[in-house]
A and B are shown apart, each in its own frame.
Chain A
Amino acid sequence: DVKVTQSSRYLVKRTGEKVFLECVQDMDHENMFWYRQDPGLGLRLIYFSYDVKMKEKGDIPEGYSVSREKKERFSLILESASTNQTSMYLCASSFSRRGKETQYFGPGTRLLVL
């Protein structure tokens, strides 16, 4: 069974704090993704990575950075948290292969920035 885990289910942080969200997958997937989910907006891609030390900006990268030092781990960093970054954050991973396509998601981290 593919497993994608996220370090916290719930987080409460203060404005201006630096926040780290960790994601680990155990299926040797090349691709990893960070999304945020907000009501009425669906899932929006923040950053993704297709290999170790590689990263690509998604649709809403402002205010975020990422780190992929090891294949199984993809970290999302909020350099200086703001209230508009209160959201559900979802990590996902996938293969880079033709044929059947899917993405596996972690359980999500609900972040509240006060």
Chain B
Amino acid sequence: DQQVKQNSPSLSVQEGRISILNCDYTNSMFDYFLWYKKYPAEGPTFLISISSIKDKNEDGRFTVFLNKSAKHLSLHIVPSQPGDSAVYFCAARLTTSGTYKYIFGTGTRLKVLA
């Protein structure tokens, strides 16, 4: 049972426009959400995160929105650049008895067209 879902396997966007990547989750006990970017043959690199008590977090061109009632989060990249082309994973953290576990979505491949 996939607790974190990224329903769009791929997305193409023109350079300079906004990229919106979506993520849905099912477990209301998740307390933190993260976005990672992954280039081929490299490990994922952290982009931005948001606590479950917030609804928005912004860092430069990247903004993450969290809608707890809908169990939905999204990553906005504006303006999109060709170097943003990568696979993006959302992840949710589950805290149990003081230990942390992260559950990842299946990823969305973003292609930014020049």
Q: Which residues of A contact B (CB under 8 A)?
A: 4, 9, 31, 33, 35, 40-45, 48, 50, 56, 58-59, 90, 92, 94, 96, 100-108, 110
B contact residues, range: 20 to 34
B43→A101 contact, CB < 8 A: no
Tell me the complex Cα distance, A103–B103, Å: 12
Tell me the complex Cα distance, A59–B9, Å: 22
B99→A50 contact, CB < 8 A: yes
**Is chain B's interface secondary structure helix, strand, loop, or mixed overall?**
strand
Residues of A within 8 A of B46 (CB): 102-104
Q: A103-B34, A105-B43, A108-B41 are contacts. A42–B105 as well, Cβ < 8 Å?
A: yes
From B6, B44, B49, name the one whose CB has the most chain A CB atoms within 10 angstroms. B44
B100→A94 contact, CB < 8 A: yes
B89→A42 contact, CB < 8 A: yes
B99→A90 contact, CB < 8 A: no
- Chain B, 11-49, CB within 8 A of any chain A CB: 32, 34, 36, 41-46, 49
